[in-house]
Every structure is written in structure tokens, then in C-alpha cells.
Structure 1
Amino acid sequence: MHNQRTQSVHRVEFPVDWPPGHVACHLLGGEEPVLVDAGIPAAPEQETPADERFESTLERAEYGLGDIEHLVLTHPHVDHIGQVGAVLDAGDPTVYAPASVRERFTRAATALGERVRENAAAAGITGDALDNEVESAVESLERNRRLLPPDAVDEWLTPGEISFGPISGTAVHTPGHQADHLAYLLGYDGETLLFSGDTVMEPFRAVVIHDGMDDGYTEAFEAAFTALDRLEPHDPDRVFSGHGKPHEQFGEILDRDRSRLHKRLDAIEGLVDDGFETMPAVAAELARGRKPRYMYAETMSGLAHLDQTGRVESELVDGVRRYA
């Protein structure tokens, strides 16, 4: 599209309905442009598959969708893989994704639904709310593997050394927010840059979702702590995350997120001590007037972690796990 490609990081923001109001992907300019993550799907009323902001932002940086040579994904959440199809329609990039996504996407949706129903029911979710959680989990799996067809991925990445054309670095497995999540430390234009996806974000700590209400919920908090521990030895010059602006507060935000994970566990333990016996009861208190279901996955995971570490005790009573 242009004769002389500048070596710079170009940020593309897409509006979303949750704080801080946007999700971002990043284009590393150069002779082989690299796009890290791919935004949220275009609105249904749009005639083209590419979000207009996506195309116009790239055009201002003198790039087009067809110029992208490498498409690198941190994790398979809808707001990070939504424009994969648009990029593939425009060109022929090499597509990279975390290797464990391949196995996750081969899962039968019915099998996932069964596990979510069993786990959610044992957590105390009933009636329409239970049906909604199962439906949401199944729809998410089906939607995400439609947005990121496994056959479209050229290279499945594992933690360790990586390269995207002339750009090389390290992939770090950073689960907790999402079980397959990779963060990428890349040497670029004389700096070490961290493309952190939904970790080490300046505005807030990422919610602990991991694999939602699938069986991995019991390991989610430990995974989130592990992700921070894995990142800590690194010292990037700048951090480019999926939400919030780029920043240079790497160590400070790692410490903040670790502290906030501990505070969440303390808060959950405190509510159990105050007599809130079930996950939905604890989640409703944590939600503080917001919809409790958005706290369900993190609350389930927190209670499981506290149970495993002996800070609370649990027993199944009439099929529902109660805590004390």
C-alpha cells in the first residue's frame, strides 16, 4: 500500500460496552507488519466484515488490512479475535495462536454444556439462571471457534522463543483471565515491548475467568498468581495491553494485581465468615448492586482456592456446595 514502511507501533481501538470502554489491538509496522490481536466483531448492521475504525486507523498509519503479514493472537476471547476474518479476507497473513486453543476448540459443545451445568448447579445456580450459564458457555465456544477457525491458524505457539518474520522474542503463558492466554515479549526498534493482552493492564486487574465454569475453575486463582510470577522476571520498556493505554508501569502494576487478587480472596473469605454460605450469595455481595452473574466465575474460583488452601471448608448439602 505504501513505498516506505515506518517502524512504529500503531494502536487500533474498538468501542465495547464495559470499562474502560474500548479494546485495542496493535500493529507493529515495518517490512513485515505484525498485528497483535484483532479486535471485536463488526456491528451486525455494517455491510463489510471489517470495523470501519479498524480500516481507517490503519489507513492513517498508511497501512491496509492486506498489508498484514503476521496475525498474532493472545487468547480466544471475542474482543480479541473478532476481526480475524476481515484480516484473512484482505490478505494472506501467517496466523499464530496459543497451542492449547486447538484442543479447546475441538471440544464438543454438548460436553462443555454438561460440565458447566453440573458445576454451576453444585455452586447453587438454579432455574433460568442455570440454563443461561449453560447456554452462554456453549454459545461462546461455538462463536469463538467460528471467529477463529482452527484451520486458519498456521502456527500454534507454546511458551518460549518465538519469531514473527524479523521480529523475535518470548511467549509467556499467562493464564487466569483465560486459560490459554499468551503474552509476547518482543524486541522491536531497540526496545523490549510486552504485548500483554488482558494482563498487566493499567486501568484495572483482569477478572479471573480462566475457563469459566468448566472444570478448570478450581485452578483459576492459582493460575492467575502463576501468570504474574512468570512475568515478573522480565522488564519490558513498555507494555501494550488490550484495555487501557500503553504504559511503563510494569512492576508497579504486577504488584498491584497480585495485591488485588489477595484482597479478593480476603473479601470472599470474610463473607463466608459472615455467614454467606453459597457462591451466589457471596457473588451478590461482591457485585454491590451490579448483576451478580458477572461475578460468578471469579467467585467460584476464589471459593475453590480458599477451600483447597484450608481457609474455608465446604460440604455438599442437597447437591449444593456450602461454605463455612
Structure 2
Amino acid sequence: MSDTDVVCVTDAAETFTCNAYLVPGEVTTLVDAGAWDGIVDAVREHVGDIDRVVMTHQHGDHVAQLDAVCDAFDPDVYAYADHSCRTHAIEDGGTVQVGDEDCDVVYTPGHADDHVSFVSPTSLYSGDVVVHDDGAFDYGSFGRTDMAGQSRERLIESIRDLLDRLPEGVEHMYAGHGGVFHGDVRDVVETALERAEQREPKYPDG
């Protein structure tokens, strides 16, 4: 699979949503379902069907359209936490196929209690634990931790865990917000960790 095969199908959304990624291949996969009511039509512009949805976590901007996606495509749904659409529970240390690649499941809470990231030999699907750019920082940002149930300390631990389990040579990062990054993913994640460790508010005026 080349990086050009992965499509952010929520690019055209004018309402707040996460990035939802369509990954074609042996197991055509949607990473997160987003909150945009146009997602089903957007998926159908590229493929006739999807085999599975894998969820990084279940905040509303990632899961609001999951029911609609399931109604349209009847996919298997892989998620850490329970959901009415979930068909397969995933856990830290497990694997799940995304497109043509097997991804390791890394439990990465802090931003959300049920947050997981998916790591393949070439790609990182990081959800909201680490992003490339999001308006707060460019080249290495991290999920917000200022709301109830969130923890900066746990997020920092999660980013460290992610670095420990990130293979050498990962070149593509597909995060829940901001742009897709191609290059030295480890360096971006290390930069995010350094910023998170400073313990300063991510949005100081928020």
C-alpha cells in the first residue's frame, strides 16, 4: 500500500469533525467515523463497500456518524470500549488489519480513557494522542487534557509508550485532526512529547 491510497474522507466537511481515513486494500477499512453527515457519500465516491471500521476513541467528533456508516455498509467494528455497533473488542498489544497491513494496538489514554493508536511498519494512526498540526502547535502537538476525565500525566505516559512501540522507518502519520504528515514520524512524536512534558496549557486563552 502506498501512502497515496489513504484518503481523508472528511476533507470536505464544513462542520467540526475528526479526520476519518479510508484505507483501501485486502480489508478496506475506515479509521474513525467522524461527525460529518456527508461521510457515507464521501466513502462511496471511492469504494462500493467497506469491510471494517476501527475506532481510535469514542468522543463525539469521532463516533457521531458510526451508526450511519454501519447502516450503510454493515462493517465489522473494532473498538476498545463498548458501543452498540462494536463487533470486536480490541486491547493493548493486539493486532488489527487496516487495509493491507497488520497494525499493533497501543493503548494511549489521557485524552480519552478508551483511546488507542494503530501502528503498522509504515504508518501511525494516532487519533488525538499526537497530531502534526492543530492550530495550537505545528510539527508535533498532542491531545487536549483540560476537560473532565482527561489527564496530562497519563497522556505523557501514553506518548512515551507509543514511542517505545513505534517501529523504525514509520513515514506516514494519520492523526485525528490537522494535516497528514509524511516523513520522520518519530521526530514529530518526540516533539509532541517534549511539549506535553512542559505541562503548560495547550490553549492558554481557552
Query: What's the TM-score, normalizing by structure 2?
Result: 0.80
Q: What is the SS of the residue equivalent to 1:151?
A: coil
2:159 paired residue number? 228
1:208 is aligned with what amino acid?
T
Tell me how many residue pairs correspond in the alignment.
189
Residues 112-146 of structure 1 show CA distances to partners (whole Å, capped at 9, x for unaligned) of: xxxxxxxxxxxxxxxxxxxxxxxxxxxxxxxxxxx
**TM superposition shift of 1:37:** 0.2
* Separation of aligned partners in 1, 2:97 and 2:197: 36
SS at match of 1:164: strand
CA distance in 2, matches of 1:56, 1:96: 22
Corresponding residue of 1:198: 128
User: Distance in 1 between the 2:130 and 2:184 partners?
Assistant: 9
Partner-residue secondary structure (3-state), 1:159 = coil
* Pick aligned residue for 2:96 from 122, 140, 163: 163
Contact 1:70 1:164 in 2 (8 A): no
Q: What's the secondary structure of 1:232's corresponding residue? A: helix
Q: In structure 2, do the counterparts of structure 1 residues 186 and 258 end up closer, same or farther at CA, with 3 Å as the change threshold? A: closer
Whether 2:171 is the aligned partner of 1:237: answer: yes
Contact 2:18 2:176 (C-alpha < 8 Å) held by counterparts = yes
Structure 1, unaligned stretches of length 5 or more? 1-6, 43-50, 103-149, 268-282, 291-324
- The aligned counterpart of 2:7 is 10
Residues 250-281 of structure 1: per-residue CA shift (max 9 Å, x gap): 2232232222223334x7xxxxxxxxxxxxxx
Decide which structure has the larger Cα Rg and report it: 1
Gaps of 5+ in 2: none
2-structure distance, mates of 1:58, 1:74: 19
Q: Which residue of 2 aligns with 1:246?
A: 180
Query: How far apart, CA to CA, are the structure 2 residues paired with 1:202 and 1:16?
Result: 21
Alignment of 1:105-184 (within 5 A): 150-164=83-97, 167-184=101-118
Amino acid at match of 1:153: R
1:208 paired with 2:190, answer no
CA–CA separation in structure 2 for the residues paired with 1:39 and 1:179 = 18
In structure 2, distance between residues paired with 1:74 and 1:196: 8
Identity %: 28
| Deviation readout 1:186-226 (Å, 9 max, x if unpaired) | 35xxxx211111122111422115xx434xx5xx2221111
Show CA shifts across 1:280-314 (max 9, x none).
xxx9xx32xx4xxxxxxxxxxxxxxxxxxxxxxxx
Paired position in structure 2 for 1:79: 61
TM (normalized to structure 1)? 0.53
- 1:93 and 1:59 mapped to 2: Cα distance? 14
Shift of 1:82: 1.4
Report the structure, 1 or 2, having the larger helix content: 1
